[in-house]
Amino acid sequence: TKFEISPRATAKIDYDFIVELIVSIVERQRKEDEEKQRQQSHTSSRRKGGGGSTSNTKNNNDKMDGAILVFLPGKGEISALTRTLFRHQSSNNSNNSTPFFSDKRQCSILPL
């Protein structure tokens, strides 16, 4: 029995596209989380009648957790994507020389 390899299996992986997709997912999730926090803050202040000083909003040090899984065919491809992620500069981070994914407070990259 002869097995044929799919043409996609031999095509070059577009690491930059994967990075842009991950950044897009992260930025979209952050915007949605910020909107939810604004809505919760607005709702809680309306319930209190505007007179209370307590707040149910999240502290800026709190972070939203999540995960993005990327499956690649081998260790070399995983290493190449990891290097590309560490070099990537986010558009929101353009004034800062630190690459977006190298900030350990923001994300963890676990090549498994």
Q: Read off the pLDDT of residues 36-93 as tens digits, 9 standing for 90 and up.
A: 888 888 777 666 655 444 444 444 445 567 889 999 988 999 999 998 988 887 655 5
Return d(Cα 14, Cα 70) in angstroms, integer: 13
Predicted pLDDT at 55: 40
In degrees, rounded to 5, the angle at the alpha carbon of residue 54 between the alpha carbons of residues 48 and 59 is 125
In terms of C-beta distances under 8 Å and separation of at least 24 residues, what long-range contacts does 106-110 make, across chains too?
A: 107/26, 109/82, 109/85
The confidence band for 6, taking pLDDT boundaries of 50, 70 and 90, is low
Q: Extract the tokens encoding 34.
A: 């910020």
The C-alpha atoms of residue 101 and residue 112 are separated, in whole angstroms, by 17
Comparing 62 with 102, which gets the higher pLDDT? 102
pLDDT at 21: 93
The answer to whether 88 and 99 have CB atoms below 8 angstroms apart is yes
The whole-number pLDDT of residue 96 equals 54
**Cα–Cα nearest to 25, from 64, 68, 82:** 68
Q: How far apart are the first and last CA of the chain?
A: 32
Q: Model-level pTM? A: 0.65
Q: What integer pLDDT is reported at residue 17 of this predicted model? A: 94
